[in-house]
């Protein structure tokens, strides 16, 4: 037999609207009220409020105090907020547990304390909402003081900051003097920010530290907190990072802290490099070196040395990169700065690898092993640089994806964005043009909208090649020109060489021969002065037209013995098929197609028609799959000539 009249059942079903929580809470209310005549509240919250109103005053206050603490709470906190002894609290909590308003945890996260949780977040919300606004601030303050009484407040820094901020905001809203609360809230926010930095949660750290500065910090602490904020903003990928770093650097210098100011300069150097502004980056790096010159070994001196090594590695200054990297490694090991070891190994390994020393791979793999085991935010960079050592595009792409995941997981937004660009380049090299083009254009749009990036030039180079292949000559010309302009700003061989090569590849088929020759002479000069292999294939494919055939063999002899160099040497010898096979073995889909087209051209000229057909079929299969109309025409013309 139903305990509810039929009309009440009908209304109950209508109000529940398929929400089982409404029915459950109503059933609990019926059980608690016994035979009383009941009204049907219009919402779940209404039922919960009715249940709370039915509690005696002490139990309701206890539940309200629990709501102040949060979804999870502890008996000691309730005793501190309500000024009750532990026995009273535990006794009443048992009664609330029987009413299915809260549940006790089997294990407590706070030693010596019973831990509870609200059965549903709505119970907590309704209980909190029923607290008179005038007393909420005091209860949050007491909750914060209880957390501090546990010791090691940094372990609960986020929760402590929440309670002090809540108390502060409520007190201000009530027109109460909140001076001491502001100081406590600021201190708690600083601790929360430092804890978030330790967890690689840089966006959260920046938010906490920014709030701390807004509330006010002691004058002597202001430069340090400002630097922490600036560093967190940079790691979070926030565009405000540069301005804050400049402000922090100046404040630290004014406060007589040149070493931390040097660290700000290091982060500025890296930030400007990220944007392709190498002159500005080098200026900051030189300033950092001056600030720590003749000072004893320290974490700041180590960070400066690491950036000196990184800049030298990127500029193909191999000996300096390895020297500075090893000096930094010795310093960090002596000082016990284990978190900086992966950075040193990445720089040393990359420099060695660029010079053809296979030991560089081992350095990078060790950096990955250490960074992965310690959740070091440099893990993404280690994967990226190991990817750059790979001849096989598919293997490089796998490592890039691992690096991107690591950068995102460990909060390293600058490395994550860099890898976003590198992943796009691999997608292009693998021949996935329809996937690449819209993503590349989005990347460039973001750069043009105020978020410039080092990778923009490389992406424009790939787009120029695709535009040319698809008969958009104007877009190809514009893209190649912009890529070269960006590379000149970056002033690094690894940026300038491929940009020159791209421009030459666009100029030649469009009949701009003299322009191409001028750029080829510049490219030869860049190659002679660096270890980069970018651009050697471009020169080899048109060595005679560009008038560089005599100089190329000596350049190739000085490169690291890599597949790319071997393929260029084969082209220089006229063995396009071998070069194409090397490209195919290493998944250079775009280059393989071009080399097979050139092989077919050579076979047709030599009257070796059947061999030409084999190469043409492979080249045309790729070009048709990507809509490369220019090369489809060229291939089909050769096919007709070989018939």
Are 461 and 569 members of one domain?
yes
115-118 sheet: strands from edge to edge: 72-74, 115-118, 102-104
Indicate if the pLDDT at residue 11 is higher than 80.
no
- Looking at residue 16, its pLDDT comes to 46
Q: Is the dihedral of CA 335, 341, 343, 346 positive or negative?
A: positive
Average pLDDT of the segment spanning 497-521: 98
Domain-ending residue, one of 573, 594, 627: 573
Are 539 and 516 members of one domain?
yes
Contact 164, 144 (CB under 8 A): yes
DSSP state of 296: P
Are 551 and 628 members of one domain?
no
564 in a domain, yes or no? yes
Average pLDDT of the segment spanning 476-488: 98
- Looking at residue 173, its pLDDT comes to 84
Are 565 and 597 members of one domain?
no
Contact 480, 498 (CB under 8 A): no
166 in a domain, yes or no? no
Q: Residues with Cβ < 8 Å from 544, sequence gap 6 or more?
A: none
The proportion of the chain whose per-residue pLDDT surpasses 90, expressed as a percent, equals: 72
As for how many domains the chain has, the answer is 3
Residues, the chain, total? Answer: 643
- Looking at residue 559, its pLDDT comes to 86
Indicate if the pLDDT at residue 298 is higher than 90.
yes
Are 556 and 499 members of one domain?
yes
Indicate if the pLDDT at residue 18 is higher than 50.
no
DSSP state of 101: S
Residue whose structure tokens are 């000082």: 335
Q: Is the dihedral of CA 358, 362, 368, 374 positive or negative?
A: negative
| Separation of alpha carbons 5 and 46, rounded Å | 21
The pTM of the full predicted model, rounded to 2 decimals, is 0.84
The proportion of the chain whose per-residue pLDDT surpasses 70, expressed as a percent, equals: 93
93-109 tens-digit pLDDT: 998 988 888 999 899 88
Are 482 and 529 members of one domain?
yes
Give the pLDDT band of residue 83 (cuts 50, 70, 90).
confident
Are 21 and 48 members of one domain?
yes
Which residue range forms the structural domain that includes residue 44? 6-54
Are 591 and 569 members of one domain?
no
Are 562 and 459 members of one domain?
yes
- Looking at residue 593, its pLDDT comes to 98
What phi-psi label fits residue 296: left (phi over 0), alpha (psi between -120 and 50 degrees) or beta? Answer: beta
332-363 tens-digit pLDDT: 999 999 999 999 999 999 999 988 898 999 99
- Looking at residue 546, its pLDDT comes to 97
193 in a domain, yes or no? no
510-553 tens-digit pLDDT: 999 999 999 999 999 999 999 899 999 999 999 999 999 999 99
Q: What is the mean pLDDT of the chain?
A: 91
Give the pLDDT band of residue 15 (cuts 50, 70, 90).
very low
What the block records as the tokens of 532 is: 């980069």
- Looking at residue 41, its pLDDT comes to 53
| Separation of alpha carbons 27 and 17, rounded Å | 15
| Separation of alpha carbons 165 and 407, rounded Å | 31
623 in a domain, yes or no? yes
Task: Give me the CATH number covering residue 567.
Answer: 1.25.40.10
What the block records as the tokens of 588 is: 């250079």
245 in a domain, yes or no? no
The more confident residue out of 582 and 23 is 582
Count of alpha carbons within 13 angstroms of residue 254, beta-carbon side = 12
Residue ranges of alpha helices (H) inside 379-507 are 379-388, 393-409, 413-429, 433-448, 456-469, 473-490, 493-507
10 in a domain, yes or no? yes
Domain-ending residue, one of 550, 573, 596: 573
Contact 157, 195 (CB under 8 A): yes
80 in a domain, yes or no? no
**DSSP3 helix / strand / coil % (the chain, rounded to 5):** 75, 0, 25
Are 462 and 515 members of one domain?
yes
Q: How many CB atoms lie within 10 A of CB 475?
A: 15
Are 488 and 524 members of one domain?
yes
Contact 460, 480 (CB under 8 A): yes
- Looking at residue 403, its pLDDT comes to 98
430-472 tens-digit pLDDT: 999 999 999 999 999 999 999 999 999 999 999 999 999 999 9
The more confident residue out of 152 and 476 is 476
Are 537 and 625 members of one domain?
no
Indicate if the pLDDT at residue 273 is higher than 90.
yes
Domain-ending residue, one of 573, 593, 620: 573
Q: Cα 129–130–135 angle (5° rounding)?
A: 95
496 in a domain, yes or no? yes
355-375 tens-digit pLDDT: 889 899 999 999 999 999 999
Give the pLDDT band of residue 34 (cuts 50, 70, 90).
low
- Looking at residue 44, its pLDDT comes to 66
């Amino acid at each position: 037999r139903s305990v509810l009249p039929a009309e009440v059942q009908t209304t109950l079903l209508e109000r529940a609207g398929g929400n089982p929580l409404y029915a459950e809470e109503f059933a609990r209310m019926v059980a608690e009220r016994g035979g009383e005549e009941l009204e049907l509240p219009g919402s779940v919250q209404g039922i919960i409020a009715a249940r709370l109103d039915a509690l005696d005053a002490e139990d309701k206050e206890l539940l309200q105090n629990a709501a102040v603490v949060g979804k999870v709470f502890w008996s000691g906190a309730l005793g501190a907020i309500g000024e009750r002894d532990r026995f009273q609290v535990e006794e009443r909590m048992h009664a609330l547990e029987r009413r299915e308003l809260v549940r006790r945890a089997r294990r407590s996260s706070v030693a010596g304390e019973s831990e509870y949780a609200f059965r549903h977040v709505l119970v907590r919300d309704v209980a909190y909402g029923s607290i008179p606004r005038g007393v909420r601030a005091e209860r949050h303050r007491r909750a914060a003081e209880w957390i501090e009484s546990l010791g090691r407040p940094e372990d609960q820094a986020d929760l402590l900051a929440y309670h002090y901020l809540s108390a502060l905001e409520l007190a201000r809203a009530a027109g109460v003097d909140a001076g001491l609360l502001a100081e406590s809230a600021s201190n708690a926010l600083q601790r929360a920010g430092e804890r978030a930095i330790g967890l690689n949660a840089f966006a959260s750290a920046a938010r906490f530290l920014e709030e701390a500065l807004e509330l006010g910090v002691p004058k002597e602490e202001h430069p340090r907190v400002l630097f922490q904020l600036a560093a967190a903003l940079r790691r979070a990928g926030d565009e405000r990072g540069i301005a804050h770093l400049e402000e922090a650097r100046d404040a630290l210098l004014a406060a007589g802290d040149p070493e931390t100011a040097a660290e700000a300069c290091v982060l500025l150097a890296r930030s400007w490099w990220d944007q392709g502004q190498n002159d500005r980056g080098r200026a900051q790096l030189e300033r950092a070196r001056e600030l720590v010159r003749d000072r004893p070994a320290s974490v700041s001196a180590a960070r400066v040395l690491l950036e000196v090594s990184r800049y030298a590695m990127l500029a193909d200054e191999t000996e300096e990169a390895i020297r500075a990297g090893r000096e930094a490694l010795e310093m960090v090991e002596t000082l016990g700065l284990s978190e900086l070891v992966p950075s040193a190994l990445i720089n040393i390994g990359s420099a060695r690898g660029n010079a053809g020393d296979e030991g560089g791979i081992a350095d990078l793999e060790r950096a990955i092993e250490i960074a992965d085991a310690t959740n070091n935010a440099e893990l993404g960079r280690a994967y990226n640089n190991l990817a750059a050592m790979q001849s096989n595009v598919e293997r490089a792409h796998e490592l890039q994806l691992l690096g991107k995941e690591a950068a995102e997981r460990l909060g390293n937004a600058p490395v994550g964005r860099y890898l976003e660009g590198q992943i796009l380049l691999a997608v292009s090299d693998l021949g996935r043009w329809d996937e690449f083009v819209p993503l590349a254009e989005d990347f460039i749009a973001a750069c043009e909208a105020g978020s410039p990036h080092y990778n923009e030039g490389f992406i424009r180079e790939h787009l120029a090649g695709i535009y040319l292949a698809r008969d958009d000559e104007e877009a190809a010309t514009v893209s190649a020109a912009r890529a070269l302009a960006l590379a000149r700003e970056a002033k690094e061989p690894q940026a300038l060489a491929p940009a020159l090569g791209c421009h030459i590849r666009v100029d030649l088929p469009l009949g701009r021969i003299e322009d191409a020759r001028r750029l080829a002479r510049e490219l030869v000069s860049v190659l002679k002065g660096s270890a980069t292999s970018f651009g050697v294939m471009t020169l080899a494919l048109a060595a005679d037209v560009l008038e560089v055939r005599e100089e190329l063999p000596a350049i190739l002899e000085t490169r690291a013995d890599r597949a790319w160099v071997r393929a260029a040497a084969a082209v220089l010898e006229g063995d396009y098929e071998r070069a194409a096979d090397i490209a195919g073995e290493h998944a250079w889909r775009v280059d393989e197609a071009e080399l097979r087209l050139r092989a077919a051209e050579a076979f047709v000229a030599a009257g070796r028609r059947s061999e030409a057909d084999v190469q043409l079929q492979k080249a045309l299969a790729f070009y048709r799959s990507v809509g490369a109309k220019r090369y489809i025409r060229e291939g089909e013309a050769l096919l007709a000539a070989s018939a």
